[in-house]
Amino acid sequence: MLLAIDSGNTNTLFAVHDGDTWRAQWRAATDPTRTADEYAVWLHQLMSMHDLAFGDLSACVISTVVPQSLFHLRNLVRRYIEVEPMVVGEDGVDIGVEVRIDRPGDVGADRLVNAVGAAVKYKGPLLIVDSGTATTIDVIAEDGAFEGGIIAPGVNLSLQALHMAAAKLPRVAIKRPDRVIGKDTVGAMQSGVFWGYIDLIDGLIGRIEDEYGRTLTVIGTGGVVSLFEDASVRIQHYDPDITIRGLYEIWKRNEGAAA
């Protein structure tokens, strides 16, 4: 079985694939100081709830945008699964995506993994809206190449900035308000962030399509994007599994070379 690990700025996803399907998925808050042993205790307990054990795992693929976490995740895999993990972005790992931007090395592993995961399932050209710590909107060409995109602050980051920078503004939860015009401070903040992000996403998608000169298939993914379902008029598909699908596909493409 394959253990796929996607370490983002906010959450780290662990998922187990048995060759036919994903058996289980778990999320933990990303903490660069969490040791391999701490990960092992946490993961062992969750795996046992699904009748899985470290001995069932025979391979691992890791994608991370947090370099400090990679040391501990690599040690987790070496010590407890007793294999060398395949790390997306390292020498010898072929992602299989042409990167058509000025500085290809600048693209985060998460965005390239998403490109692979989307191209496997959807016919291009594509737009991937990934809403997490940051909101990224990336263009994937018809042949699967990565052609660039947009990076904006994530919705949680915006709420946090409002709370921290304005003394009288409270910390509020993200939710879809019943009305656009807020009748109190909390309602006004929720409306501004929620509908502001809907219009940011839909507006940028429109501008991208105008510049690209083609209509694109738009896919939403990420930890926050489900909040926007039925609110965005531009997102056509909501797919939470793009990243792990991409990790599995990259592992398959490199399995022979890594063996």
Looking at this protein, which amino acid is placed at residue 179? R
- Tell how far CA 26 is from the center of its chain: 14
Angle at 123 between CA 121 and CA 124, to 5 degrees: 120
239 is catalytic: no
CB neighbours of residue 39 within 10 Å: 23
Scored b (16 or more CB within 10 A) or e, 99-136 reads: beeeeeeebbbbbbbbbbbbbeebebbbbbbbbbbbbb
What strands lie across the sheet with 59-64, from one edge to the other? 22-29, 11-17, 2-7, 59-64, 86-87
Please confirm whether the linkage preceding 125 is cis (ω < 30° from 0). Answer: yes
DSSP assignment of 136-166, as one string?
Answer: EEEEE-TTS-EEEEEEEE-HHHHHHHHHHHS
Tally of residues, the chain: 259
Which residues lie below 8 Å from residue 29, measured CB to CB, with a gap of 6+? Answer: 10, 11, 12
Burial class (CB in 10 A: 0-12, 13-18, 19+), 96: middle
| Catalytic hit among 6, 94, 106, 110 | 110
Dist CA 175 CA 187 (whole Å):
10
Dist CA 42 CA 17 (whole Å):
19
Active site residues: 110
